[in-house]
A and B are shown apart, each in its own frame.
Chain A
Amino acid sequence: MSTLQVAARGSVATAQPRRNPFGRDWKLGYALSLPVFFVVIGLVAYPLAYSFWLSLQDVKVGAPGTFVGFANYYKVLFDSEARIHDAFWSSAWITLLYVGGACLGKLIIGMVSALILNAEIKARHFWRSLLFLPWSIPALVTAYTWKWMYNDVNGVYNAALTGIGLIDAPILFLAKPEYALWSILFAVIWQGTPFWTMTFLAGLQAIPGELYEAAEIDGATTFKSFVYITLPSIMSVVVVTVMLSTIWTTNSIQFIYILTNGGPGGATETFPLLAISQGLRSYDLGIGSTIPLLFFPFFAFMIYVVTKRMLKTGE
């Protein structure tokens, strides 16, 4: 066989078939993706778009709306004459305090708890179980329990403090603007910390012991080991936990709703609560839709960061 013939045969053998622009098995692929597509459109995209559409209107529940463009956004953000403007900025500030305080508290206590539980201590399993207990109680039950404990007349705190003579008059944990937010934060941190402890503990247990042994041989102190080995090793876990908890804490209303319902005098009214009170309680769907949408970019960014990090970790 001549080399020419071989070359010709080779070229025939390697001739590429015509590619379908949609890719191989595209019909099956799209058919299998269709349910997800419907779910995303029906349960995510449509409600979001409808919410945005409502925010562009002056509309009460059950009434035809009047298109007002971005007037609601202007009113909420910039119209200092409007009562909702003050309420919104106040709620934004309170949300920041609430979420920041809750996350910081859970981060510090969660990290310390995880480090203790990761150490060789006696009855480690018992302590772990005990520490995770608050997280296993439904949030509603927890919130009502704290409400009763904080009660000014017959709550356990006031009864105990009065009983031992530390106070004459009851402390108004939930009825004084100065105390209300801190009282709620205390309850939220108590309930939410176990999740942080659990995730940090999982991260800590994944760190190879050899790293600490090597550091010890090199004369590293416990503090330096923590700073140069522990923290970098669990940083991705910390970041994801902080991000997720920030999103959850910001959106969760059960503690505030039950303990103070945003009071007294709006001292604990976070923006989701304000949105509910405007939209459903006060029938004002336009303003009620505008408020949460103003925070949408912030959440979208957080979710983007979390997703990116998680995928990166997965790789």
Chain B
Amino acid sequence: MASDRIFSRRGFLGVLAGTAGASMLAACSSPAAAPAKPAESKPAETKPAESKPAETKPAAPAAEAKPTTAPAAAAKPAEAAKPAAGGPVVVWQGLDYLPQVTSLMGERFTAVAKEKGFQLTFEELPAGAASTDRFKAAVQAGTPPDIYRNFDYENQFWRIQGQTVEVSDIVNPVKDQQGGFLGPVTNTLAFENKWWGVPMAVNCWPFHVRQDLLDKAGMKYPKNWDELRQQGKELTKAPLYYYGMTLGKVNDSNNHFIGMLWTMGGKLQNDDGSLAAKAGDESWLKTLDLVTQMFDQDKIIPPGSTNWDDGGNNTGYQSEQLVITSNPTSVYNWCLQNKPELAKATKFYSYPAGSAGSFGQVDVWGLGLFKNGKGGENARTLLNSFIDPKWYADYINNGLKGRFVPVFKDMGNDPVWKQDLYSEYQNIINTARSMAHSAAPLGAIAEITSKFVIADLVQDVVVKKVKPADALASFVKTAGEIYAKPENKR
């Protein structure tokens, strides 16, 4: 009988709904702030790499995206925030081809966190776009890690967006040690005599060269582009192509083109940070002509390179289908681990000379300290421990064995750089330039690079067969608009 039931169906559903609602509210509410714990001396957790997708939680627009009638230029870069009292530190690092790059850093940070008694989460993210997309989403949501590795222009980019804090107190005490920093390091990480990233490494772009093939053909590495073209025509026999120049809409295209441009006397930026390219600029047109001659006439560049991603030339070299290609030594390290014979047959060289000479290409990596991190002083402690010259020398030269050039000049005298493999390296380092040469990589460089405006120029000429002069005029117009933005001059 109905009257015997303890619960009516309606009552039962009501209780169920109430419970569900309460559970949801409990789940949605943020946990109460725990009282600040005294420093624990338990070992810091170093989480294994997780391949969690980027959080899709939309960022709260409330404070971040207020409509403002003030021009963007008025938005000042972040003031050096007062370091907060130490909390748990979160470090994200994208995995490198060489796992020791992150694993040794993780070990170091873990040891320091344990010694100082604070919590650390050191997370290795998958390499490539998946990690950077996740990081950008976290920044936009206001939940970035405390420390994140920035590539080249990203260091200044995050400063301009007001996301990173000044780290001069960490860098200044060591900047004159070991012969001081290499030129591009200061150029990339400092702004108006303040440091906005802790120097991590100088990433070199040597030409990986199949010395065995040159020796077999009785050839020497070409001194200039004319020799390169001649040599290329003799050695190219599909499926073996001579020059692995990336022509796709990717970062490597930017690097390969700019490296070549320098040899022709051109550059992207003037000393004052303004755009150096002009419509009809001879050095740019000569470079574009050279690319089209090598691609269309000599056919020494693989035809598929117009659609390569950043790994295209790596794969080409690793699968023994290229004689030379310019790339960071991730290619060589892959060969060491997977094809020792190919590694043995490889030698490094700088760019062949053009009318203006030959220049080494580098990009600079820095560790950024993000203002929305919760680690405060503890995060600074970790960065201090990283740039400690004694530990850093061991890390960069013994731990990574040539993967990166050290940021300190004198550390380049280490025996590791005296090997025959690196005999040409000193030449690269002495003439090293980063993409932003000859000024700092400010907002304009970030936009030019991330929007692949240079790669578009190359594709216009090589794929769409636009006349070099017209393509350059279009590039100058687009780049000019980017350089004209007030926020790109800070």
Query: Which residue numbers of A lie inside 8 Å of B, CB to CB?
Result: 25, 27-28, 31-32, 34-35, 38, 46-47, 50, 53-54, 56-67, 83, 151-154, 169-170, 172, 174-175, 177, 180, 260-267, 280-285
Residues A32 and B13 in contact, CB atoms below 8 Å apart: yes
- Whole-angstrom distance between the alpha carbons of A260 and B308 in the complex? 8
On chain B, the residues within 8 Å of A262 by CB distance are 249
Is B71 in contact with A34, judged by CB distance below 8 angstroms? Answer: no
Residues of A within 8 Å of B65, CB to CB, are 53-54, 57, 59, 64-65
Which of A35, A62, A263, A285 has the most chain B CB atoms inside 10 A of its CB? Answer: A62
Instruction: Check: B20 CB closer than 8 A to any chain A CB.
Output: yes
Q: A152-B304, A172-B304 are in contact. Are A62 and B158 (CB under 8 A)?
A: yes
- 11 pairs from A and B in contact (CB 8 Å cutoff): A27-B14, A31-B18, A34-B24, A35-B20, A62-B136, A67-B68, A174-B304, A175-B304, A265-B463, A266-B459, A282-B450
Given A35-B24, A265-B460, CB of A280 within 8 Å of CB of B302: no
B14 touches A263 (CB 8 A): no
Apart from A64-B66, A180-B307, 14 more pairs, CB < 8 Å: A25-B10, A50-B58, A62-B140, A64-B75, A64-B162, A65-B67, A65-B68, A154-B239, A175-B306, A263-B248, A263-B249, A264-B307, A265-B460, A283-B136
Q: Are A28's CB and B13's CB within 8 A?
A: yes
Interface check B6, CB cutoff 8 A = no
Cross-chain contact A153 with B302 (CB below 8 angstroms): yes
B133 touches A280 (CB 8 A): yes
**Closest residue of B by beta carbon distance from A158:** B239
Find B238's partner among A56, A153, A264 (CB 8 Å cutoff).
Answer: A153
Residue B163 lies at the interface, judged by CB distance under 8 Å to chain A = yes
Q: Is B478 in the interface zone, CB < 8 Å from A?
A: yes
4 A-B pairs with least C-beta separation: A67-B67, A265-B463, A31-B17, A63-B161
Complex: how many Å from CA A260 to CA B59?
31
A63/B162 contact (C-beta < 8 A), A174-B307, A264-B307, A282-B451 known: yes
Binding site for A on B (CB under 8 A): 10, 13-14, 17-18, 20-21, 24, 28, 56, 58-59, 61, 64-72, 75, 129, 133, 136-137, 139-140, 157-158, 160-163, 238-239, 248-250, 302-307, 309, 319, 321, 446-447, 450-451, 459-460, 463-464, 478, 487
> When the two chains form their complex, are residues B24 and A38 in contact, meaning their CB atoms are under 8 A apart?
yes
CB-CB under 8 A for A153 and B304, given A34-B21, A59-B65, A170-B238: yes
Asked if B303 and A152 make an inter-chain contact with CB atoms under 8 angstroms apart, the answer reads yes
Nearest neighbor of A268 in chain B, beta-carbon distance:
B307
> Which residues of the partner chain B approach A83 to less than 8 Å between Cβ atoms?
478
Q: Across the interface, do B68 and A151 meet the contact criterion of CB distance under 8 Å?
A: no
Q: Known contacts A50-B58, A180-B307; is A152 also within 8 Å of B139 by CB? A: no
Decide: B303 and A172 in contact? CB cutoff 8 A.
yes
> A63, A152, A281: which contacts B75 (Cβ < 8 A)?
A63
Q: Quick check: B17 and A280 within 8 Å, CB to CB? A: no
Q: Are A62 and B307 in contact (CB-based, < 8 A)?
A: no
Closest to B474 in A: A83
Q: Are B447 and A282 in contact (CB under 8 A)?
A: yes
B463 with A177: CB separation less than 8 A: yes
B24 in contact with A57 (CB, 8 Å): no
Q: Which residues of A contact B305 (CB under 8 A)?
A: 175
* CB of B14 to closest CB in A, whole Å: 5
Shortest Cβ distance from A268 into chain B, in angstroms?
9
| Chain A residues closer than 8 Å to B163, beta-carbon distance | 62-63
Shortest Cβ distance from A177 into B: residue: B463
Q: How many A-B residue pairs have CB under 8 A?
A: 145
Complex Cα gap A88–B398 (Å):
50
Contact partner, A152, options B250, B302, B487, Cβ 8 Å:
B302
Contact A264 B463 (CB under 8 A): yes
Contacts of B157 in A (CB 8 A): 283
User: Are A66 and B303 closer than 8 Å at their CB atoms?
Assistant: no
Q: Tell me whether A260 and B13 are in contact (CB under 8 A).
A: no
A66 contacts B302, CB within 8 Å?
no
| Cα-based distance from A301 to B136 in the complex (angstroms) | 32
Chain A residue, CB-CB nearest to B65? A65
A264–B246 alpha-carbon span in the complex (Å) = 12
Across-interface contacts of A50 in B (CB, < 8 A) = 58-59, 61
B307-A67 in contact (CB<8A): no
Which residues of chain B are within 8 angstroms of A153 by Cβ–Cβ distance?
238-239, 302, 304, 321
In the complex the two chains form, what is the Cα distance from A194 to B56 in whole Å? 31
Q: A301: shortest Cβ distance to chain B, in Å?
A: 25
Least CB separation from A38: chain B residue: B24
Task: For A170, list chain B residues within 8 Å (CB).
Answer: 238, 303
A263 and B17: CB pair below 8 A? no
Bound together, the chains give a CA A64 to CA B140 distance in angstroms of: 10
Among candidates A32, A56, A172, residue contacting B17 with C-beta atoms closer than 8 Å: A32
Contact (A31, B307) CB under 8 Å given A53-B61, A62-B163, A64-B66: no
Residues in A neighbouring B446, C-beta threshold 8 A: 283
Q: Given A31-B21, A67-B67, do A62 and B161 touch, yes or no (CB 8 Å)?
A: yes
Q: Which residues of B contact A284 (CB under 8 A)?
A: 451
Tell me the nearest residue of chain B to A285, going by C-beta.
B140
| Of the residues A169, A263, A281, contact of B459 by C-beta under 8 Å | A263
Q: Are A264 and B64 in contact (CB under 8 A)?
A: no
Residues of B within 8 A of A152 (CB): 302-304
Q: Which B-chain residue is minimally distant from A155 (CB atoms)?
A: B304
A53 and chain B: residue at smallest CB distance: B61
Compute how far the CA of A175 lies from the CA of B163 in the bound complex, rounded to whole angstroms.
Answer: 39
Residues of A near B250 (CB, < 8 A) are 261
Instruction: Give the residues in chain B near A151, CB-CB below 8 Å.
Output: 304
Which chain A residues lie closer than 8 Å to B463 at the CB level?
Answer: 177, 263-265, 267
- Alpha-carbon separation in the docked complex, A264 to B250 (Å): 11
The reply to whether B307 and A175 contact each other, CB–CB distance below 8 Å, is: yes
A50 CB → nearest B CB, Å: 5
B72 CB contact (under 8 Å) in A66, A261, A281: A66
- A103 to chain B: closest CB distance in Å? 25
Task: Name the B residues within 8 Å of A175 (CB-CB).
Answer: 303-307
Identify the closest chain A residue to B138 (Cβ): A62
Q: Which residues of chain B have C-beta atoms less than 8 A from A31's C-beta? A: 14, 17-18, 21
* A64 in contact with B304 (CB, 8 Å): no
Query: In the bound complex, what is the Cα–Cα distance between A75 and B239 (angstroms)?
Result: 45
List the B residue with the shortest CB-CB distance to A59. Answer: B65
* Least distance between A79 CB and chain B CB atoms (Å): 11
Q: Which residues of B contact A38 (CB under 8 A)?
A: 24, 28
CB-based nearest A residue for B466:
A265
Closest approach, in angstroms, between the C-beta of B58 and any C-beta of chain A? 5
Q: Contact: A60 with B239, CB < 8 Å?
A: no
CA distance A61 to B59 in the complex (A): 11
Alpha-carbon separation in the docked complex, A170 to B302 (Å): 11
Q: A143 → chain B, closest Cβ, in Å?
A: 13
Contact of B161 among A46, A60, A260, A280 (CB under 8 A): A60
- Contact of B68 with A28 in the complex, beta carbons under 8 Å: no
A28 lies within 8 A of B306 (CB): no
A309 smallest CB distance to B (angstroms): 30
